[in-house]
Amino acid sequence: MLLLGIESSCDETGVALVHAERDGVPRLLGAALHSQVAMHRDYGGVVPELASRDHIRRLLPLLREALAQAGVALHEVQAVAYTRGPGLAGALLVGAGLATALACALGVPALGVHHLEGHLLSPFLSADPPAFPFVALLVSGGHTQLMRVDGVGRYALLGETIDDAAGEAFDKSAKLLGLGYPGGPALARLAEQGDAAAFALPRPLMHSGDLDFSFAGLKTAVLTQVRRLGAELEARKADLAAATQAAIVDVLVHKALAALRATGLKRLVVAGGVGANRRLRAQLDEACARHGWRVHYPEPALCTDNGAMIALAAAMRWQAGGWPPQGEGLAFDVRPRWPLEEVALPVAAGG
C-alpha cells in the first residue's frame, strides 16, 4: 500500500509518501516540508488567514518534491491521508480539500487522520521503533498529555495540562526574554550557557499526586523575574533561560516516570516538538536507564509537524483494520477540536 500524507494543521506544510505491507513497520519513501515560521515571526504568533493561504501556495510544489524524492508517480498512490484535526480550521481545510480532490481524481480512498495520533506514532519511523504497550508523553505547542497506548487506536488519557502546554511555556517564556517567536528552541539554546540553579522557579503540580500539568504559573514567575531584573536582565538572561527550561523539564520528567510507575509499563515514547529538547532527553534517558525502562523518540526532523507522521498513522490504522476499504467517501469535514479518544478502534477479538 502506497500512502500519501498531507499535514496542514498549523504553520507547517508537509507532504510525504509511506509504503506499508499488511504487517511490519511502514517505511518512509520521501518527504517534503515547508515551515511558515519566518512568515509569522513579524506578528509574534501564527496568523490563521496567512497560514491557510500559504498552505495553498506550498502544497502542490511540495507534493512534486516528495514524489520525486520517493521515486514514485502520483498515479501509483493508493490512499491519501490528511490531517482532519485538531488545528486551525482554515488551514485544515486546505489539506483536506487537496487530499479529497486527489483521492477523487485517482479513484482511491481519502483518510482523515488525527494530528496527535500522528505525533504519537511518529517514533515508529525511527531507527529504534517502539513496541506496544507504552506510555506516551506528548509535548507539543498545543498539547501536554500522558497517555497509555496499548495499540493503534487504543489510547487512554492518564493526565494532561490544565492550562498552557509545555511548548507554550517555552515559547511564552522565550518571548518574555526577548527571544522572538517561536522561542522554544532559542530558549533551549541559550539555556545551555546558563546556570539553572541561579533562579528558584516553581514546579507547578509536580507533587500533586496525579498526572496533570500546569505551566501558566511558571510563565508568571518568569515575568516577575524579568520585571525585577530590569536592566540587569541582559546579563542574567542565559541563567533565567536555564532555570525556566529546568523547571519545565523537571515536571515533565517527574510525571512521565510517575506514569510508568502507575501503569507498570516499561516503555516510554516521547513525541511532539518539545521532545526535541536535549535536557529533557538527557534526563529521561538517565532516569529510565536507572530503572531498566526504554525510551523512544521520533527522528529529530519528525518531532515537529510533518506529513510523514500523517501517512504513517493512516498506514498503521489500515494495518490494524481501522479503515473501511472504500475510505470515507468524498464528503469531508475538519475537526479543529477533536479529542483523541474519539479515534479509538475496537479491540480485535483475542487482542
CA 297 to chain centre: 11
Candidate segments 47-55, 64-72, 141-149, 219-227, binder of ligand ATP by CB under 6 A: 141-149
- Pull the grid cell for residue 78: 493508493
Cα separation values, 293 from 149, 240, 279, Å: 16, 32, 18
Candidate segments 12-20, 76-84, 223-231, 243-251, binder of Mg ion by CB under 5 A: 12-20
Q: Is 251 annotated in some ligand binding site?
A: no
Question: Within 13 Å of residue 56, how many CA atoms lie on the same side as its CB?
Answer: 10
Q: Is 329 annotated in some ligand binding site?
A: no
Whether 263 and 158 have beta carbons less than 8 Å apart is answered as yes
Nearer to ligand ATP, 10 or 66 (CB): 10
Query: What is the nearest approach in angstroms of ligand ATP to the Cβ of residue 274?
Result: 4
The reply on whether position 8 binds ligand ATP by CB under 6 A is no
User: Which of Mg ion, ligand ATP, Fe ion, none binds 188 (CB below 5-8 Å, type-dependent)?
Assistant: ligand ATP
Nearer to ligand ATP, 239 or 305 (CB): 305
Query: What is the nearest approach in angstroms of ligand ATP to the Cβ of residue 107?
Result: 32
Query: What is the nearest approach in angstroms of Fe ion to the Cβ of residue 142?
Result: 7
Query: What is the nearest approach in angstroms of Fe ion to the Cβ of residue 185?
Result: 15
Q: What distance in Å separates the CA atoms of residue 276 and residue 298, rounded to the nearest whole number? A: 9
Q: Is 138 annotated in some ligand binding site?
A: yes
Nearer to ligand ATP, 20 or 139 (CB): 139
- Site map (CB under 6 A) of ligand ATP, residues 266-305, x = contact: ------xxx-xx--------------------------xx
The reply on whether position 212 binds Mg ion by CB under 5 A is no
182: how many CB neighbours lie within 10 A of its CB?
A: 25
The reply on whether position 161 binds Fe ion by CB under 5 A is no
Q: At what angle do helices 48-70 and 89-106 cross, to 10 degrees?
A: 40
Cα separation values, 137 from 96, 133, 146, 219, Å: 27, 13, 5, 21
Phi, psi (5° rounding) for residue 269? Answer: -115, 130
The reply on whether position 164 binds ligand ATP by CB under 6 A is no
Candidate segments 19-27, 56-64, 93-101, 303-311, binder of Mg ion by CB under 5 A: 303-311
Nearer to ligand ATP, 145 or 225 (CB): 145
279-308: contacts with Fe ion (CB under 5 A) = 305
Bridge-based pairing of strands 154-160 and 134-139 is: unpaired
Q: What distance in Å separates the CA atoms of residue 29 and residue 37, rounded to the nearest whole number? A: 26
51-80: contacts with Fe ion (CB under 5 A) = none
Cα separation values, 228 from 198, 243, 247, Å: 14, 15, 19
Whether 152 and 286 have beta carbons less than 8 Å apart is answered as no
Nearer to ligand ATP, 225 or 277 (CB): 277
Nearer to ligand ATP, 225 or 304 (CB): 304
The reply on whether position 171 binds Mg ion by CB under 5 A is no
DSSP, res 39: H
CA 296 to chain centre: 14
Query: What is the nearest approach in angstroms of ligand ATP to the Cβ of residue 12?
Result: 7
Cα separation values, 273 from 30, 142, 156, 175, 268, Å: 21, 10, 21, 17, 16
The reply on whether position 10 binds ligand ATP by CB under 6 A is yes
User: What three-state secondary structure class fits 83?
Assistant: strand
Site of interaction with ligand ATP (CB under 6 A): 10, 115, 119, 140-143, 167, 170-171, 182, 184-185, 188, 272-274, 276-277, 304-305
Binding residues: 115, 119, 138-142, 171, 184, 277, 305
Site of interaction with Fe ion (CB under 5 A): 140, 305
